[in-house]
Amino acid sequence: MLYHPDKHRDPELKRQAEQLFNLVHQAYEVLSDPQLRAIYDIYGKRGLDVEGWEVVERKRTPVEIREEFERLQREREERRLQQRTNPKGMISVGIDATDLFDRYEEDYKDLPGGGFPHVEINKMHISQSIEAPLTTTDTAVLSGSLSTHNGNGGGNINLLLPSAVFYATVGPLIFYLAIQRLIIRPYVRAQQEQDLEKHRESSASDIARKKQEAESAVLLMQESVRRIIETEESRMGLIILNAWYGKFVTDNSRRHERAKVIDVSVPLQCLVKDSKLILTEATKTGLPGFYDPCVGEEKSLKVLYQFRGVMHQVLSPDGEALRIPKQSHRIDADT
């Protein structure tokens, strides 16, 4: 109803409403069909766009589709684990077949058991190794082996670290922890930042499109929000005073970082019904009028609202369900 083109007379608003209305219509067609919804939940739009349904048989039920997806997920996790640990194993067996080659054929005729030569296993060796990546270039190798030869056996376990520094220091555990804290962790964080920046660059056009859609949605909500606020004020109900969504910097040690938030007061007020706002357990980026202001980073929703003339405030992590108003959100008079 909010995005229906007939609800808007202004040509520009009508055009924006048509675009958003088409998106809502496409979503409804998928989510109202149990099979299409199951495919979308598992494979996303890629699963819906595959021509000929190569991804999944159309006759499968949603339960069968989910079971297949879980199986594929387990296989992917196993492959990732194998790629990270690179397990290797070897079994070698020594066979004493001297009796088979050390006699002439006529010598076997008088032997009991039809003259079959005596062949026995006289030694066996089993080894196994796994790798534990420390950095992108250094890897620790843990290996072990068991051997037996003519009734005598033994075994060993080895830990091989590639850098000579590990061999040259006293107290390798303490040194490793120091290296982990001072070198490896900062290096990994730097790598993560680089990967995040690449992800931002690759998704920049998509984010720009979603931002434009969110801004259009906020424009289309203005009239509805005005009516909602009038109704809520008349009953001393729920009024969203300010709401922000994104990355907040609350840790004093991270003050140098810049907060990345967007104003979502209008979209949240538009979702208020009968003096209640209920958000389900999911990321807020998909809500009307929202978009992701900090791709790949942790986000929260901060809301300052008034209910029955009393100020309330809440900070809710992204992905968690939120229900307001609540007494626990009240701001004390002293505050």
CATH class of this structure's domain 85-160: mainly beta
78 pLDDT above the threshold of 80: no
Average pLDDT of the residues in 328-333:
86
Q: What local confidence, expressed as pLDDT, does residue 173 receive?
A: 57
Q: What local confidence, expressed as pLDDT, does residue 94 receive?
A: 77
Rounded to whole angstroms, the Cα distance separating 270 from 239 reads 10
* Highest mean pLDDT pick, 5-9, 97-101, 198-202: 5-9
Contact present, 145 and 126 (Cβ < 8 Å): yes
Identify the burial level of 51 via C-beta atoms within 10 angstroms of its C-beta, where 0-12 means exposed, 13-18 middle and 19 or more buried: exposed
If pLDDT is split at 50, 70 and 90, which confidence band does 165 have?
A: very low
**Tokens 């032997």 sit on residue:** 111
171 pLDDT above the threshold of 70: no
Query: What's the mean per-residue pLDDT of the chain?
Result: 77
140 pLDDT above the threshold of 80: no
Q: Which residue has the higher pLDDT, 207 or 135?
A: 207
Domain spans, the chain: 5-83, 85-160, 220-329
Q: Which residue has the higher pLDDT, 197 or 271?
A: 271
65 pLDDT above the threshold of 60: yes
Q: What local confidence, expressed as pLDDT, does residue 290 receive?
A: 93
Rounded to whole angstroms, the Cα distance separating 275 from 312 reads 14
Model confidence pTM above 0.85: no
- Token output for 323: 């229900």
If pLDDT is split at 50, 70 and 90, which confidence band does 237 have?
A: very high
pLDDT over 90, % of the chain: 26
Q: What local confidence, expressed as pLDDT, does residue 53 receive?
A: 47
Per DSSP, 304 falls in state E
pLDDT over 70, % of the chain: 67
304 pLDDT above the threshold of 80: yes
If pLDDT is split at 50, 70 and 90, which confidence band does 186 have?
A: confident
Rounded to whole angstroms, the Cα distance separating 163 from 328 reads 54
**1-11, pLDDT tens digit by residue?**
888 888 888 88
Q: What local confidence, expressed as pLDDT, does residue 325 receive?
A: 93
Q: Which residue has the higher pLDDT, 91 or 335?
A: 91
Nearest residue to 291 via CA among 194, 217, 193, 195: 217
